[in-house]
């Protein structure tokens, strides 16, 4: 008889072969399996799923509970085909809220101040690394992990193309960049090679020790740069993050398209592919992050229905 643990492990392995990383999902699912094992349960039930989802002593956030329950619901749909006694928790078992953090859209002036703050970092090579990294994120919309994951062979300075491998959804894509960007990347590469003439890693961006930049260690330094640059967020908004450079790039691209009269609906799939989104829904979300974008989209919609812009 196949146990729930075996079913869960096989399910995760199957989805990972399809390209899903499932890091957080996998951790949550195996936590639920462990909960069932400790309670002696041999079947997935709605009550067990609810009990596990809400058993978070350090958090009473219903959004958090709902997301935990969603993990069980997705797995239960798969498992029920194999184990008919499996119960699938109903959609309304917990209040379901989808909450996405409103990004801080960096203005050109704020970005300039961030770069100036980066220039003050010591030693000099660290300052150059941060200036180049922030600049690249702001003009390409790369995820921080994708920039840190770039290898030297992935940065084609002659053709002006970056190859982003093993992205969030297990796919690779190529990112064309402007000539000014390749010039800046080339300058950094020469500085890096002078600093570390015998490389210990194939990484394009390296630390002062010559190791690959770790995306998990960057937020603390970025917070210092934000404070030093005097970049502040409004009330009830979180402090600007490195990921907001990606939001700012996407929003600025959409604004330019709207202002230029471009058919945004037709071009949106291009931005979706460029950003490495799984589907256009994630790209559409950027419309809600900027009041100016919302106004332009509303005006375009009104015009398309015969109203006056």
Question: Catalytic residue positions?
Answer: 143, 168, 243, 246, 277, 286
Return the closest-CA partner of residue 73 out of 110, 42, 104, 29.
29
Query: Closest by alpha carbon to 24, among 37, 12, 38, 6?
Result: 12
- Residue owning tokens 């071009």: 267
Q: Where are the beta strands (DSSP E) in 103-242?
A: 155-156, 161-164, 173-176
For the packed helices 23-39 and 62-80, what is the interaxial angle rounded to 10 degrees?
Answer: 80
Number of other residues whose CB lies within 10 A of the CB of residue 116 = 13
Complete edge-to-edge strand list for the sheet that includes strand 155-156: 155-156, 161-164, 173-176
Burial class (CB in 10 A: 0-12, 13-18, 19+), 63: middle
Residue with tokens 């919609």: 301
Strand partners for 152: none
């Amino acid at each position: 008889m196949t146990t729930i643990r075996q079913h869960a492990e096989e399910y995760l392995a199957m989805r990972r072969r399809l390209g899903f990383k499932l890091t957080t999902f996998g951790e949550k699912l195996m936590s639920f399996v462990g909960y069932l094992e400790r309670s002696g349960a041999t079947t997935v039930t709605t009550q067990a799923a609810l009990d596990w989802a809400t058993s978070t002593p350090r958090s009473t956030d219903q959004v958090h509970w709902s997301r935990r329950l969603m993990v069980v619901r997705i797995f239960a749909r798969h498992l029920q085909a194999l184990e008919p006694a499996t119960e699938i928790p109903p959609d309304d078992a917990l209040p379901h809220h989808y909450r996405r953090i409103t990004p801080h859209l960096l203005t050109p002036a704020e970005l300039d101040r961030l770069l100036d703050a980066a220039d003050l970092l010591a030693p000099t090579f660290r300052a150059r690394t941060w200036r180049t990294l922030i600049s690249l994120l702001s003009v390409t919309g790369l995820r921080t992990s994708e920039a840190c994951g770039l290898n030297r062979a992935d940065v084609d300075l002659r053709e002006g193309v970056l190859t982003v491998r093993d992205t969030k959804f297990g796919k690779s894509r190529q990112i064309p960049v402007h000539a000014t960007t390749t010039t800046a990347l080339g300058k950094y590469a020469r500085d890096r090679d002078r600093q570390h003439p015998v490389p210990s890693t194939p990484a394009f961006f390296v630390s002062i020790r010559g190791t690959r930049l770790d995306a998990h260690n960057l937020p603390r330094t970025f917070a210092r740069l934000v404070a030093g640059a005097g970049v502040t967020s409004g009330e009830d908004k979180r402090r600007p993050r490195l990921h907001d450079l990606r939001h700012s790039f996407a929003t600025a691209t959409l604004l330019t398209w709207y202002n230029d009269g471009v058919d945004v609906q037709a071009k949106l799939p291009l931005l979706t592919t460029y950003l490495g989104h799984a589907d256009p829904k994630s790209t559409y979300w950027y419309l809600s992050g900027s009041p100016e974008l919302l106004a332009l989209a509303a005006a375009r919609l009104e015009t398309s229905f015969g109203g006056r812009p």
